[in-house]
Chains A and B, each alone.
Chain A
Amino acid sequence: MALKTGEIAKQKGQERHRALGLSDDAALKLYEVMRLARAIDERMWLINRQGRAPFVISCQGQEAAQVGSAAALAPERDWVVPYYRDAGVVLWFGMTARDQMLSFFARREDPSSGGRQMPGHYGSRRRHIVTTGSPVGAQTLHAAGVALAAKMRHEDTVVATYFGEGSSSEGDVHEAMNFAGVHKLAVLFVCENNGYAISVPQSHQMAIKDLADRAAGYGFPGVVVDGNDVLAVYEVSREAVARARRGEGPTLIEAKTYRFTAHSSDDDDRRYREAEEVALWRQKDPIQRYARYLRDARVLSDSVEQEITDRLTQQVDEATEYAEQAPDPSPDDLGKFVYAEGQG
């Protein structure tokens, strides 16, 4: 039942992206969005450590899993139901550095929540990003519901939902996969397995090595992919999306990856993991790894790299400046939107 895991992307040589149908520009776009996610994240930590904002939750290390899977979707008709690390996913779906920074500073203009939620709790109806909360796992059932609605209307919408290997212990994730399997819903269950649920390692989370094995219990394919190889993630996601669009149902994609930072700015990961382990994974940095590939494939030159760096720096600078000076919500906003009005 298992799918092949990124066979094309594993090929030796320099034509992997072209073999996947990605033009050089498309391959570079993946790279730029990964780098944008990283650049925003790094700036947030800097600002947080300067005491200018109270909280950061990071995507660092997981950008390939996020961008590679989101890039297989069509944002104008598909939906994503992310979790709080998925900066790469929501940027691919059209959120901007400014949106991220408005949320980071909890400003009134924050498109995800108007300053109500912590950073990382994304949502935007027009961008097809379902609003997300902090209790993990719950969002996977929403993905099943979005897909059910699409199926009822005979639309070929695909929904990707994201969660960590820790969240996979939640009952809702089981219920969502089970229901999606029963109704052959067009859902990609993307597990970003970063090895830790805050401090608890995978070995204390489950007795199996590959979470993807669980898919068999729900009657659909599970696939393990190197989550730090953006082209491999793109390949398996593209196959899962095609399957879903054909009405053949869900796929569980387990992207093995690693969280470079502590769980959040309030966590100290030195209490539960060795510096050597982090250093080892940093050598497998998905962005550096993809940059090497693009250079070898002669898609990325020094000058293009510099253009990207300049563009991202400018975006992040402008976004930070704008958001830091943007107005806070007013106390009168406290009671707004508790209920929707009209016929909605």
Chain B
Amino acid sequence: MAVRTVIEAIREGMDEELERDPSVFIIGEDVGKRGGVFLATDGLQKKYGEQRVIDSPLAESLIVGVAIGAAVNGMRPIAEIQFADFIAPAYNQIVEEAARFCYRSGGDFNLPMVIRTPWGGGVHGAMYHSQSIEATFAHIPGLKVVAPGTPADAKGLLKAAVRDPNPVLFLEHKRTYRLVRGEVPAGDGVVPIGKAEVKRAGTDLSLIAYGLMLHHCLEVAEKLAADGVSAEVLDLRTIKPIDEEAILQTARKTGKVLVVHEDNRFGGIAAEVMAIIMERAFDALDAPVMRMCGPDSPAMPFNQILEAAFMPSVDRILARARELAAY
């Protein structure tokens, strides 16, 4: 096993998929010589040429729309949207076109394509380099939404996304890119889409999260252990299709659940997770299901104090978890 950062794992995943399958190609802004603004595609154009790592014009709808057409005609595009905050111009192409191609054609067309984009805050990225978009897109039938938190999951899920016959929105938490290191299995390891994973087993309460918040929750679990509280941490990894069984399993096991995300609270993924538990595991609960989310204000101000106030922090999650443990 090799130790990699999240960004290295993603780059390796793309490199291996480009090598394995000549129908895979990359299209996005600055993905060529620049190697992407985060260097996710560093060196790939040099290795695979300008035909397979394409610097697109500065137009997000174009990036997705062209990827759709290429996928129709036998290719497996990996489209990069430079920041999740810039995805709105491509909303029509993603939601009205890509997500509906299979359904509206009665299964005649399907689109094997990936839309990668860095998301999330905590990097002084301000209003337009910090947003979370998972709830917006998870609402749309026909899309898959993936949000890995570790290098191994990032690489394995990227491979799964490239090989999936459907459009997959692949969310990479930009704060984790270089912050999080971990072992990545050698070989062609694919992590299946739609499967959550218990990243830390526990018995007293469950923390459910994904992306950067997974790492905050792991830290919180460590601190809770010092209090004598055994916390389980479930990493959703895939937002849509969500792993209902894994959610129910941990809820039934501990009877106390706190769901954490930095996306806005209203209509967020936590609300869906809570609804799943209420509908199917109500009888196993020892406390109301709780959530710790970003507030319902636009994500997120540039000022450091305001940014910190927006992001769920280890301390705030810990306080909420202690409240839950004591319930």
- For residue B102, CB closer than 8 A to chain A, the reply is yes
- For residue B115, CB closer than 8 A to chain A, the reply is no
Q: A141-B65, A146-B70, A146-B72 are in contact. Are A131 and B109 (CB under 8 A)?
A: yes
Which residues from chain B contact A148 at a C-beta distance below 8 Å?
66, 69-70
- For residue B266, CB closer than 8 A to chain A, the reply is no
Closest to A112 in B: B105
- For residue B56, CB closer than 8 A to chain A, the reply is yes
- For residue A43, CB closer than 8 A to chain B, the reply is no
Which residues from chain B contact A175 at a C-beta distance below 8 Å?
57, 59, 61-62, 65
Smallest beta-carbon distance B194→chain A, Å:
11
Q: A146-B73, A343-B165 are in contact. Are A114 and B106 (CB under 8 A)?
A: yes
**Cβ contact within 8 Å between A341 and B165:** yes
**Cβ contact within 8 Å between A145 and B61:** no
**Cβ contact within 8 Å between A344 and B112:** yes
Smallest beta-carbon distance A54→chain B, Å:
18
Smallest beta-carbon distance A113→chain B, Å:
5
Q: A182-B57, A344-B166 are in contact. Are A142 and B69 (CB under 8 A)?
A: yes
- For residue A235, CB closer than 8 A to chain B, the reply is no
- For residue A207, CB closer than 8 A to chain B, the reply is no
B residues 242-299 in Cβ contact with A at 8 Å: none
**Cβ contact within 8 Å between B72 and A145:** yes
Partner of B72, one of A142, A337, A341: A142
Which residues from chain A contact B96 at a C-beta distance below 8 Å?
133, 135, 138
Closest to B112 in A: A344
Closest to A123 in B: B105
Smallest beta-carbon distance B9→chain A, Å:
23
Which residues from chain B contact A113 at a C-beta distance below 8 Å?
104-106
- For residue B100, CB closer than 8 A to chain A, the reply is yes
**Cβ contact within 8 Å between A131 and B66:** no
Which residues from chain B contact A246 at a C-beta distance below 8 Å?
none
**Cβ contact within 8 Å between A133 and B97:** yes
**Cβ contact within 8 Å between A338 and B108:** no
- For residue A73, CB closer than 8 A to chain B, the reply is no
Q: A133-B97, A138-B65, A142-B65 are in contact. Are A152 and B51 (CB under 8 A)?
A: yes
Smallest beta-carbon distance A226→chain B, Å:
30
Closest to B66 in A: A145
Bitwise, A154-187 to B at CB < 8 A (1) or not (0) is 0001000000000000011001101100100000
**Cβ contact within 8 Å between B106 and A116:** yes
**Cβ contact within 8 Å between A172 and B61:** yes
Q: A179-B62, A343-B165 are in contact. Are A145 and B70 (CB under 8 A)?
A: yes
Bitwise, B142-163 to A at CB < 8 A (1) or not (0) is 1010000000000000000001
Q: A138-B92, A142-B72, A149-B74 are in contact. Are A337 and B102 (CB under 8 A)?
A: yes
Bitwise, A326-344 to B at CB < 8 A (1) or not (0) is 0000000000111111111
Closest to A180 in B: B66
**Cβ contact within 8 Å between A340 and B75:** no
Please measure, in the bound complex, the distance between the C-alpha atom of A340 and the C-alpha atom of B69, giving whole angstroms. Answer: 17
Please measure, in the bound complex, the distance between the C-alpha atom of A342 and the C-alpha atom of B163, giving whole angstroms. Answer: 9
Please measure, in the bound complex, the distance between the C-alpha atom of A150 and the C-alpha atom of B72, giving whole angstroms. Answer: 11
Which residues from chain B contact A340 at a C-beta distance below 8 Å?
102, 107, 110, 165-166
Bitwise, B87-126 to A at CB < 8 A (1) or not (0) is 0010011001100111111111110100000000000000
Closest to B25 in A: A152
- For residue A130, CB closer than 8 A to chain B, the reply is yes
**Cβ contact within 8 Å between A131 and B104:** yes
A residues 285-327 in Cβ contact with B at 8 Å: none
Partner of B61, one of A123, A141, A149: A141
Smallest beta-carbon distance B150→chain A, Å:
25
- For residue A261, CB closer than 8 A to chain B, the reply is no
Which residues from chain A contact B64 at a C-beta distance below 8 Å?
141
Q: Which 3 A-B pairs have the closest CB atoms?
A: A145-B69, A344-B165, A141-B65
User: CB within 8 Å of B: which residues of A?
Assistant: 79, 81, 110-114, 116-117, 121, 123-125, 130-131, 133, 135, 138, 140-150, 152-153, 157, 171-172, 175-176, 178-179, 182, 336-344
* Other A-B pairs beyond A111-B108, A113-B105, A153-B74, 12, CB < 8 Å: A113-B106, A125-B105, A141-B61, A141-B64, A142-B72, A144-B62, A145-B70, A152-B51, A172-B93, A175-B59, A340-B166, A343-B163
